[in-house]
């Protein structure tokens, strides 16, 4: 298929591009390189530097490439940042998505795979969280994703758009060639590995008074490669109907458990410092992914946190300064 990947120079988009190219698809990466890296664009994919904030950029990319489907990764995705800069999220995640959706509509691109988030579930009634859970966004970031999810539904009703909303829990890990390189780095696993590499003195633990077994937040870490396998399955299945899935391993690990696993894998003591809670962080987020397992036969290969951290450690050790 001809697939346009927005944000294909970023962490998750770069792995998607790698996998799609590997599977023989014709891929065009569209990225403004604000957060992404040109070096992260998988070999074999075409690249255009463009900004979704500029409707003409995406319009001409779509008119020229004529994709059959879009995978839309380009977005801001920091819960904490969205609590201090909500307009950035309204603009980059909502207005820019509108520019993309309008260009797709103008050029009859009828399929989209949309990166959504577990931050839709700040106050879940049941754990693990399935797709029937009510949506209570935990932050402007979660809200921005929820708005687009709802709008995809309406574009499907009014225009026949086919969509998949994939709600990522905590994406982590790396392939042999693509890993996580944010600047500044704010995510737990890469920060812990930077400590192990001697690039930081310690890792701060944001809150140890949550209602969880050890007091630190519990998250469901999912390997980025498993995440992308779900995208490919969802794309293949769109002819049979729209899809909405929660994507995780169904198992939660606390911040302290992640650090302990990283100590074993890296052999480094990884000192910790207790810090206040980070605004917007729910105590526990664990996914039920039964629906995609049953409907599409999704079968994540990296179920253990150790396996996930090992792949991240291999990548960070090979790329201590990032790309």
- Residue 180 binds to ligand UFG (criterion: CB under 6 A): no
Interface with ligand UFG: number of residues (CB under 6 A): 21
Q: In the bound complex, what is the minimum distance in angstroms from residue 216's beta carbon to ligand UFG?
A: 7
Instruction: Please choose, from the candidates 145, 178, 141, the residue with its C-alpha nearest in 3D space to the C-alpha of residue 8.
Output: 178
The correct pick among 103, 109, 203, 224 for binding ligand UFG (CB under 6 A) is: 203
- For 74, half-sphere exposure in the C-beta direction (CA atoms, 13 angstrom radius) is 32
| Nearer of residues 50 and 282 to ligand UFG, judged by Cβ | 282
134 secondary structure, DSSP code: P
136 secondary structure, DSSP code: B
Catalytic residue, chosen from 11, 89, 141, 210, is: 141
Binding window for ligand UFG (CB under 6 A); candidates: 11-19, 89-97, 115-123, 125-133: 115-123
The correct pick among 29, 205, 232, 292 for binding ligand UFG (CB under 6 A) is: 205
Residues 6+ away with beta carbon under 8 Å from 203: 188, 191, 192, 195, 259, 270, 271, 272, 273
Residues in the chain: 323
Place of tokens 């770069």: 14
The correct pick among 39, 186, 202, 323 for binding ligand UFG (CB under 6 A) is: 186
Q: 141 an active-site residue?
A: yes
- Residue 93 binds to ligand UFG (criterion: CB under 6 A): no
Q: What residues are paired with 72 via a beta bridge?
A: 6, 114
| Nearer of residues 107 and 278 to ligand UFG, judged by Cβ | 278
Q: In the bound complex, what is the minimum distance in angstroms from residue 217's beta carbon to ligand UFG?
A: 3
Secondary structure tally for the chain: helices H, strands E:
11, 14
Residues 6+ away with beta carbon under 8 Å from 174: 180, 224, 311, 312, 314, 315, 316
Q: In the bound complex, what is the minimum distance in angstroms from residue 63's beta carbon to ligand UFG?
A: 31
| Nearer of residues 47 and 315 to ligand UFG, judged by Cβ | 315
Burial letters 58-73, b for 16+ CB under 10 A, else e: bbebbeebebbbbbbb
- Residue 191 binds to ligand UFG (criterion: CB under 6 A): yes
> Could you say which residues in the range 61-90 bind ligand UFG, by CB under 6 A?
77, 79
Q: Is the dihedral of CA 153, 105, 38, 51 positive or negative?
A: negative
Q: What residues are paired with 28 via a beta bridge?
A: 4, 46
Binding window for ligand UFG (CB under 6 A); candidates: 37-45, 53-61, 85-93, 182-190: 182-190
- Residue 255 binds to ligand UFG (criterion: CB under 6 A): yes
Pairwise CA distance, residues 164 & 157, whole Å: 14
Binding window for ligand UFG (CB under 6 A); candidates: 14-22, 180-188, 229-237, 263-271: 180-188
- Residue 281 binds to ligand UFG (criterion: CB under 6 A): yes
Residue nearest to ligand UFG (CB): 217
- Cis peptide bond N-terminal to 246, omega within 30: no
- Residue 169 binds to ligand UFG (criterion: CB under 6 A): yes
**Catalytic residue positions?**
141
Which residues of this protein are in contact with ligand UFG, per CB under 6 A? 77, 79, 117-119, 169-170, 186-188, 191, 203-206, 217, 219, 255, 278, 281, 285
């Amino acid at each position: 298929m001809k697939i346009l990947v927005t944000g294909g120079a970023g962490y998750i988009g770069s792995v998607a591009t790698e996998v799609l190219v590997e599977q023989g698809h014709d891929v065009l990466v569209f990225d403004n390189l604000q957060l992404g890296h040109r070096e992260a664009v998988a070999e074999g994919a075409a690249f255009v530097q463009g900004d979704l904030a500029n409707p003409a950029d995406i319009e001409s990319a779509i008119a020229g490439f004529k994709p059959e489907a879009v995978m839309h990764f380009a977005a801001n995705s920091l819960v904490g940042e969205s609590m201090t800069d909500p307009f950035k999220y309204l603009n980059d995640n909502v207005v820019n998505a509108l520019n993309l959706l309008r260009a797709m509509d103008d050029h009859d691109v009828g399929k989209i795979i949309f990166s959504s988030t577990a931050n839709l579930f700040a106050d879940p009634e049941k754990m693990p969280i399935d797709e029937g859970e009510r949506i209570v966004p935990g932050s402007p970031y979660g809200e921005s994703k929820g708005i687009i999810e709802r709008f995809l539904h309406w574009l499907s009703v009014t225009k026949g758009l086919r969509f998949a909303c994939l709600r990522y829990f905590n994406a982590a890990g790396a392939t042999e060639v693509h890993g996580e390189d944010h600047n500044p780095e704010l995510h737990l696993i890469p920060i812990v590995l930077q400590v192990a590499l001697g690039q930081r003195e310690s890792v701060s633990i944001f809150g140890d008074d949550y209602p969880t077994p050890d007091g630190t937040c519990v998250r469901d870490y999912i390997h980025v490669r498993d995440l992308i396998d779900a995208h490919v399955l969802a794309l293949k299945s769109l002819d049979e109907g729209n899809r909405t899935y929660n994507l995780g391993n169904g198992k939660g690990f606390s911040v302290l458990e992640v650090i302990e696993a990283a100590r074993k894998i890296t052999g480094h003591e990884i000192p910790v410092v207790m810090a206040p809670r980070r605004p917007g962080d729910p105590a526990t987020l664990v996914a039920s992914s039964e629906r995609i397992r049953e409907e599409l036969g999704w079968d994540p290969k990296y179920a253990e946190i150790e396996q996930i951290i090992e792949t991240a450690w291999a990548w960070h050790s090979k790329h201590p300064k990032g790309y």
